[in-house]
Amino acid sequence: MSSAFATSDLDALGALLDGCAAAAGPWAALPPGARAAAIRHVADELDAASSALVPIAVDETHLPVARLNGEVVRTTSQLRLFAEVLEDGAYLEVTIDHPDGGWPSGPRPDVRRMLTPLGPAVVFAASNFPFAFSVAGGDTASALAAGCPVVVKAHPGHPRLSAATAEVVTAALGRAGAPEGTFALISGEDAGRAAVVDPRIRVGAFTGSQRGGRALWDLAASRPDPIPFYAELGSLNPVFVTPGAAAARCDEIVAGFVASYTFGAGQLCTKPGLLFVPAELLDIDVVADAVRSVAAAPLLNEHIRTGYDAVLSALRAHPAVRTVVDGSDGEAPSPTLLATTAAELLTGRADLLVECFGPASIVVTYDDEPELLAAAAAFDGQLTATLHALDDDPAAPILLDLLSRCAGRVVWNGWPTGVSVTWAMQHGGPWPATTTPTTTSVGTAAIGRFVRPVAYQGVPDALLPAGLQEANPLRLPRRVDGHLELP
């Protein structure tokens, strides 16, 4: 099974997509356990190749070795978790209704429903996680687990790492018995756009900027046959601190905030971009001292640096914003800390509620609880929102309700950076955090983006998919006549 790598050669892309389409049926037809074994083999091969892959990542991304080694572990653990999802089988949502002549709404026929793969997927890799959100990252893992062949559009920020990782993935799938065409890598904006509109592609996923993701989402919707396109686009991730929490542990909150927004040089989509604190309980000089203690770090690439400088410059120039710590403008920027008030933020929200992807954040002081609640109600869709409060804070239930309306994940007395890959994790949110608020790009529920339901009515048992047959040969959990049955 050879790896295919196309740039702007659209003829080569066509041949690659032919192979992907040809693999769709055989890959989807494999029993879940067989796909699980193949995905585990990919994880094993990536672990074995990490000593060769990590130095390439260091050279291309400027990220430290320890961070990248941890990211490899996250990537392979994620693959193995999706293998568990396949073996568990509940993701298929198998539901069987036997015939019932006395059904209240009229005689019920034999209806059997389960989820089935959408078909070939195009995945756009991210720059800030060169392993975990890239070639073999969460979108690829969940799509492969669902039974969809995957074409990954490489991120230009780490092209050599992308090619090397793709070689490992392709070879591992081939040795595990996956059909030719199950996985391939492409590069270049033209090839990426062409893949989105190609009729052989049935679903897409993206992690990156709002501008880029929105353009691809619009492109997917403009097709004669529109396809689902799941884009994770970024977030401000506001943090709200009640007076009770500030009085009880202000120093701890300050330390956590600074560590969170400067981690990875602020190049995480869950970086806290704003900290709301009571004016009378915060010494901004304490925050400033903590920020100044953080060393400068290079950004991932020139494109990110250019965007960071532009947004930061606009924020600094805003009349409602005060620069508390002016980070260095050298090759490796040190963290910047800005400040404003809740009243000024609410007045200038169109200019101030913008993501600054890099090591900068804004401290927002408020005067009283009504101002805090008004600020919490001002946000549109976010990946996360965080509340630092006491258990008996009277405002806590109101704030939790407000934050749950705008955010996909609400964090209590913690920090949003560090998205654990788990069964319950939600990494998504209303627009503009994502294009589809009902899904997640992290956690086992991410597999749901790449499947669709099909119901079979009155089909003879022998002709049904194995998962719907009466004898349950795949030993799947199923809901039968309204009752959950475990194998």
The residues that are catalytic are 232, 269
Under a CB-based contact definition with an 8 Å cutoff, are residues 387 and 238 in contact? no
* Dist CA 386 CA 410 (whole Å): 6
Q: Taking a C-beta distance cutoff of 8 angstroms, is the pair 440, 408 a contact? A: yes
Query: Residue 376 contacts by C-beta under 8 Å, 6 or more apart in sequence?
Result: 238, 240, 276, 385, 399, 402, 403
d(CA 195, CA 301): 25
Residue 178 Ramachandran class (φ > 0 left, ψ -120 to 50 alpha, else beta)? beta
Q: Token digits for 50?
A: 């990490």
Beta strands per DSSP E along 332-439: 336-341, 360-366, 382-388, 407-412
Handedness of CA 391, 396, 401, 402 (dihedral sign): negative
- Cross-strand pairs, 339: 322, 363
CB 395 within 8 A of CB 376: no
d(CA 388, CA 61): 33
The interaxial angle of helices 65-88 and 32-61, nearest 10 deg, is 170
Phi and psi angles of residue 112, each rounded to the nearest 5 degrees, phi first: -135, 130
SS3 of 241, please? strand
- Contact (CB, 8 A) for 224 and 378: no
Select from 291, 270, 276, 268 the least CA-distant residue to 337.
291
| Alpha-carbon separation of residue 411 from 2, 373, 394 (angstroms) | 44, 17, 18
Q: Check if the beta carbon of residue 151 is closer than 8 Å to that of residue 121.
A: yes
| C-alpha to C-alpha distance for 133 and 300, rounded to whole angstroms | 14
Phi–psi pair at 327, nearest 5 degrees: -60, 155
